[in-house]
Structures are given as structure tokens and as C-alpha cells.
Amino acid sequence: MTSYRDFHRRSIENPEDFWREEARRIHWHTPFDDVLDRSNPPFARWFVGGRTNLCHNAVDRHLAERAQQNALVYVSTETGIERRYTYAELYGEINRMAAVMRSLGVKRGDVVLLYLPMIPEALFAMLACARLGAIHSVVFGGFAAPNLAARIDDAKPVLIVTADAGARGGKVIDYTPLIDEALARATHQTPHVLLIDRQLAPERLNAHYLVAYEPLREQFFDVHVPCEWLESNEPSYVLYTSGTTGKPKGVQRDVGGYAVALAASMEHIFEGKPGDTMFTASDVGWVVGHSYIIYAPLIAGLTTVMYEGTPIRPDGGIWWRLVEQHKINLMFTAPTALRVLKKQDPALLKKSDLSSLRTLFLAGEPLDEPTAAWIADALGKPVIDNYWQTETGWPMLAIPRGVETLRSKLGSPGVPSAGFNLTLRNELTGDACAPREKGVLTLDYPLPPGCMSTVWGDDSRFVSTYWSSIPNQQVYSTFDWGVQDEDGYVTILGRTDDVINVAGHRLGTREIEEALSSHAAVAEVAVVGVTDALKGQVAMAFVVLRGAQISADSSERARLEAELSATVERQLGAIARPARVVVVSMLPKTRSGKMLRRAIAALAEGRDPGDLPTIEDPAALLQIREALGGIGAN
Ligand code: AMP
């Protein structure tokens, strides 16, 4: 067995040879001419000239050997529906969906926007796009109409696929009014909206633009749609993510590099073998859902479990019962879910037979030591933290147990994955840090296969956002702080920018500030991330009102604070709703007018904001302290 060190060194010193070998894991309709095109840094093109298709690799390729194996097990504790699809059945459903899309004019290179809850059709639709060579852009079903409208205008879809409703925690969320509003707000005219009717919300099919899926599915029941053989670097999808500006970035991914990277990750990191069952508790609207609910498990010939519901309904034992019932081998979730489960009766975990489970993977946010220790002890199985971003598509840091059974170190997601040439750098000089010295996590050119190719429709933003922030070096910045020890293990120490992480979801504080500023009463606002015992971080907003004095009447203040929170929810969705909105008469700033966000965050967490010699008016800090009246870190 090769050692991790040799394996990683080879991937950095000779990426061409390394990835040429890894590329054998997938089917190429036409072999590639070059492994890597480095002619236009920081852009990298992988497997140039090779032709392949993600849907063929995820489904068609397995029909010879595993047509009767389950490809998808779908469980909804919201609707009580449970369905299984073999690879053969999945093939049929994807072909029907692809035929319906084709009948609505979708062709290679077109964008299809999916605004869907966790239903099997979300998986069918993504793979149908891949089949047709269309580019899917999945928008998380919790996002609000203005948010959706911004993505419609940026992605310019020819088709939107949606459903009548989503469901969460027993509550039905009617999607069609939201789609109505988003389409009315968007400048781009989307020709068709295809509706999957789950019969959860009132019949809305009379809306003039809606096309019902079911009758068309019947019409195209036996149609076979051939796979489009795409050049490896054609776009497969666009997934929007938050940054420091209000405008979300469309992360564009390729076809061949993504397929190879995911297949490699299933071997080296997840140790998923054909026939295994993997349950990734995420949402198709996030990158973890794209990579590890949909593409990676299917490309590697596994059974994927797709789950609609919360971890505690009908009770906190539901996920463990799923492990027993479906003989789940690999499970993947975010630390927040475990912190929720930790509060449940511990006996629930012991009630199910978890003998099938080999490993639990966690990602998306920092894994705190008490949670890591609790779950490792309760399960008695390896718990593997892994660190990555929407931009990288697969883990940058992990314990590659498929290569070498390195030990885990509490507090660290592990060591760099194959192809990630990671260096911690000083943010002022760009120099590499010494071991244990804090720096910005950066990646040297080229990014490995599977990472973002560019920002959708905006190459210059890709360069200026990601490759221009470190002085004297053209390197990719993750915008995360970290330290690396002598053995190569990295610990993540939080973001360098104004992005916060709420329950594993990335939010730009700037977006929330913009939403609050749109309220007529608001003159000025500062949003900061504050440590939270359950969600990791929550957003807290401090607002200065226009003209008026702060009302001394506490019920009037509470009403206004609730109204401001609701404004954020309407514009960005419930996930962005601040934990608190606090009205103050001024915000702490330097004499040159720079907002002292770190001081605000420190106060909100009950910490000392330290010496602030440049502050314009220290009374602003006092006011925040008084307004919080003892709330802070919990
Ligand atoms: P997203 O693109 O939404 O997946 O968010 C990516 C960000 O989440 C990273 O830049 C980190 O700040 C954070 N993150 C993801 N995984 C981890 C992890 N295992 N440990 C610490 N932070 C993480």
C-alpha cells in the first residue's frame, strides 16, 4: 500500500500522470488528447478533447452489471412516502424527464434552473440535464423570491423545473406563489416552467406558464434519449454561493474533471464500493448534495439514500432506523445535525442495529471537539471530518483512509487531498507560514479536477475574487484562516471575509445588510456572525433607524425588530433570518468611517472588544452592550 505522503507528493509533482491514471475510473466516449492545459492560468482545463457524459457514467454504464441493484432509495418523513429505484428504473425515469425537457426545447448548452424540494424528480432532472448536455442550476428550495429572481437573471434559464410545494418539519411551503413573484421580478423571460405536482399545495395548474410534468411523462414513457457526448470542459452545472458582495457567484463546474475527481474521492476518502449504500443527509441545493447525494455515489455504483425531513421527526432515532432498515454503510452530514441529535435521548442511538455502518463523514462547518468526541464514542465507528467549499466540489482536507489509515486529530479535518497544493500564507506578505503559524489557506495553480472552472459568465470575477487577494502571489484563496502542524494536519480558524456559516450554510453578512437596508425605516446596519451552541454561528443585526429616535416603548421596539427580521426572510429566505435585530442610535466606527465589525461581534459574544484607539465615539459600544443586556455567547 502506498503511503499518503508519496500519494500526495505524486499528485502535486506530476499531476498529468497522476490524473491520467485516475481518469480510468470513468467511461470516455472519446479519449482525451491532453491531461491538463495550463496555457491560460489561473484557468486550468482537464482532460482536453476527451468526450464523456455524467449521466452515462452515473447510470447507463452500470446497466450491464447492476440493472437490478437499487440506485436510489427515497424516504420522506414529511409525506410518509418511500420509494426504491433500481438502476434500470432510474434509467427509465431519467430518459422520460430528458424527453420531456427536450420537448420543451432544452438542448445542449442551455441552462435549466431547478427549484425543487427533496424528491426523486430532483435527481431525475439533474441527470436528465446531464444527459442532454444542458447545464443545471439548482436553487435551494428555502430561498425566497428575490433571491431566486437574481439567479434567474444571472443564469438565464430556458426552463425552470419546480414543484407545487416543499415540506419541512410538518409544514408545507407552497412554491408556486414564490415562483410567480420571482418570475415577475426577474428581467429575464423564462419560456417554460415545468411543475411536478406532489399534491401538497392547492391546484395551481391554471397559471398560464406552468406545464404539468405527469401527463408529459406518460406521453414519453418509453422514449430513449441518447447521451450528448460533451467535451470534458463544457459546463455541467452552475451552483450559486454567497460571497462578500450582495451578488451571489455562479460556481461553474466542468464534466470530465468533476466525474474523475468524484470517482477518485469515493475510493481514496469515502471508501465507497459498488453495491454499498450511502446516506448523505444534505439537500440537492447545496454542493454536498450535488456531489455526494447525486453524482459520486452513482458514478461509483452505490445505492444513494435521499431523505426529505429533519433528523428529529418523528423522533431523534429516525436516521439510525434508516441505517438499520437500508443497511447503510456510509453516512455523511453536517455537525449541526449532530448537535441537534446530541440533545435527544441517547438511548435512541442504541436502539437500532448500526452494524452495517462503516464510517460517518462530517463537513460544512467546524466540528467542535465535544460533538466529535460524543459521536465517535456513541457510534464506536470512525468519524471523518472533511473540509471543502462549493468552489472545490469535493474535500480539500480529509483523512484519506482509502490510501492510508492515518489517525484523526481532534479539531482538524485532516491533510490535503490529492492534487490540492495547499499552503498557509501570511495575508500581508504572501509568504508561506511556518508550521503552527496562522495564515490564509491558499491553493497553488492548478486547482485539481472537480474544482470550479470559472464564475458563470464572468471570467474576470473568477480571477479578481479568488486569485488576486494574496500579495505577490497568484494563488487561489479559500478565505479561511488556518494553521498546519508538522505532520500536515490543518485546523480551520474561521473566515477571513464577511461570510458566516449558519448550520453549515454559507451566508454573506453583506447580503443580509442589503436586505435590511431595503426597509424604509433603516438608515444604517451592521450584521455580524455570533457563536451559537447549536448552529455554530448565527447572524445578529444592529440597525440605526432613519431620522427617528429609538422608541422607549419596548413592545414597539420588539414589533419593529420582528418586522425587520421578516424583511430579511422575505428577501433571502428563512435560513438568513437574523437571530436578533437590535435597534441602536449609532454604530461603532473608526474616525475614518470604517465599521468596527469585529468589536461588535466580540460584544455580541460577551467578549472584550479590546483596545480601539481609532474609534470615533466609544458610546456606540456602550449602547450595544446595554442593548444586548447580557445576551451573548450561549
Ligand atoms: P460552502 O461553500 O457553503 O460549502 O461553505 C464552505 C465554507 O464552510 C468553507 O470555506 C469553511 O469556511 C466552512 N467549512 C466547510 N467545511 C468545514 C470543516 N470541515 N471545518 C471547518 N470549516 C468548514
Confidence of residue 420 (pLDDT cuts 50, 70, 90): very high
Residue whose Cα lies nearest atom 3 of ligand 1: it is: 506
Q: Is residue 634 predicted with pLDDT exceeding 70?
A: no
Q: Which of 286, 288, 387 is the pocket-test mutation for ligand 1 (most atoms within 8 Å of CB)?
A: 387
Alpha-carbon distance of 19 to 421, in angstroms, equals 14
Whether the CB-CB separation of 112 and 143 falls below 8 Å is answered with: no
Does ligand 1 come within 6 angstroms of the Cβ of 449?
A: no
Per-residue H/E/C for 137-165: EECCCCCCHHHHHHHHHHHCCCEEEEECE
Whole-number Å distance, alpha carbon 505 to ligand 1 midpoint, is 8
Alpha-carbon distance of 281 to 77, in angstroms, equals 13
Question: What is residue 223's three-state secondary structure?
Answer: coil
Confidence of residue 633 (pLDDT cuts 50, 70, 90): very low
Whole-number Å distance, alpha carbon 411 to ligand 1 midpoint, is 14
Which helix (DSSP H) or strand (DSSP E) does residue 603 occupy?
helix 597-604
Per-residue H/E/C for 362-418: EECCCCCHHHHHHHHHHHCCCEEEEECCCCCCCCCEECCCCCCCCCCCCCCCEEECC
Alpha-carbon distance of 502 to 575, in angstroms, equals 8
Alpha-carbon distance of 251 to 248, in angstroms, equals 9
Alpha-carbon distance of 551 to 504, in angstroms, equals 36
Mean pLDDT of 69-91: 98
Alpha-carbon distance of 498 to 511, in angstroms, equals 10
Q: Is residue 246 predicted with pLDDT exceeding 80?
A: no
Alpha-carbon distance of 366 to 387, in angstroms, equals 8
Confidence of residue 1 (pLDDT cuts 50, 70, 90): low
Residue whose Cα lies nearest atom 16 of ligand 1: it is: 364
Beta-carbon contacts of residue 295 (< 8 Å; ≥ 6 apart): 54, 58, 258, 259, 262
Does ligand 1 come within 6 angstroms of the Cβ of 254?
A: no
Q: Is residue 632 predicted with pLDDT exceeding 50?
A: no
Per-residue H/E/C for 59-116: CHHHHHHHCCCEEEEEEECCCCCEEEEEHHHHHHHHHHHHHHHHHCCCCCCCEEEEEC
Does ligand 1 come within 6 angstroms of the Cβ of 514?
A: no
Mean pLDDT of 430-453: 97
Q: Please state the φ and ψ torsions of residue 321, each to the nearest 5 degrees.
A: -65, -35
Alpha-carbon distance of 305 to 182, in angstroms, equals 31
Q: What does pLDDT average to over the chain?
A: 94
Please tell me the predicted confidence (pLDDT) of residue 551.
66
Q: Quick one: 84 exposed, middle or buried, by C-beta within 10 A (0-12, 13-18, 19+)? A: middle
Q: What is the share, in percent, of the chain residues with pLDDT greater than 90?
A: 80
Whole-number Å distance, alpha carbon 478 to ligand 1 midpoint, is 9
Q: Is residue 502 predicted with pLDDT exceeding 50?
A: yes
Does ligand 1 come within 6 angstroms of the Cβ of 567?
A: no
Does ligand 1 come within 6 angstroms of the Cβ of 492?
A: yes
Nearest Cα to Cα of residue 428 among 437, 417, 439, 443: 439
Mean pLDDT of 101-123: 98
pLDDT digits (tens, 9 = 90+) for 458-472: 999 999 999 999 999
Does ligand 1 come within 6 angstroms of the Cβ of 58?
A: no
Alpha-carbon distance of 1 to 372, in angstroms, equals 29
Q: Position of cell 439537500?
A: 283
Whether the CB-CB separation of 633 and 600 falls below 8 Å is answered with: no
Lowest mean pLDDT across 167-176, 390-399, 607-616: 607-616
Q: Is residue 353 predicted with pLDDT exceeding 70?
A: yes
Whole-number Å distance, alpha carbon 592 to ligand 1 midpoint, is 33
Tell whether pTM > 0.85: yes
CA dist 218 → 36, 152, 193, 195, 213 (Å): 44, 29, 18, 14, 9
* Ligand 1 atom at minimal distance to the Cα of residue 499: 12
Mean pLDDT of 596-625: 88
Does ligand 1 come within 6 angstroms of the Cβ of 140?
A: no
Alpha-carbon distance of 218 to 221, in angstroms, equals 5
Does ligand 1 come within 6 angstroms of the Cβ of 413?
A: yes
Q: Is residue 631 predicted with pLDDT exceeding 50?
A: no
Domain annotation for the chain: domains and CATH numbers: 4-309+386-419+445-463 (3.40.50.12780), 503-628 (3.30.300.30)
pLDDT digits (tens, 9 = 90+) for 293-324: 999 999 999 999 999 999 999 999 999 999 99
Does ligand 1 come within 6 angstroms of the Cβ of 364?
A: yes
Whole-number Å distance, alpha carbon 506 to ligand 1 midpoint, is 8
Does ligand 1 come within 6 angstroms of the Cβ of 141?
A: no
The DSSP letter of residue 24 is G
User: Does residue 314 have a cis bond before it (omega within 30 degrees)?
Assistant: yes
* Ligand 1 atom at minimal distance to the Cα of residue 413: 19
Residue whose Cα lies nearest atom 7 of ligand 1: it is: 389
* Ligand 1 atom at minimal distance to the Cα of residue 506: 3
Which helix (DSSP H) or strand (DSSP E) does residue 213 occupy?
helix 213-219
List, in sequence order, the alpha helices (H) in 423-574: 459-466, 509-517, 554-572
Which three three-digit cell numbers place residue 501? 456559516
Q: Label residue 12 left, alpha or beta by phi (over 0 means left) and psi (-120 to 50 means alpha).
A: alpha
Nearest Cα to Cα of residue 537 among 588, 570, 578, 566: 578
| Bridge partners, 37 (sequence order) | 45
| Bridge partners, 138 (sequence order) | 114
Q: What number of H helices and E strands is found in the chain?
A: 21, 32
pLDDT digits (tens, 9 = 90+) for 473-484: 999 999 999 999
Confidence of residue 369 (pLDDT cuts 50, 70, 90): confident
Whole-number Å distance, alpha carbon 363 to ligand 1 midpoint, is 7
Please tell me the predicted confidence (pLDDT) of residue 550.
63
Angle among Cα 318, 324, 330 to the nearest 5 degrees reads 90
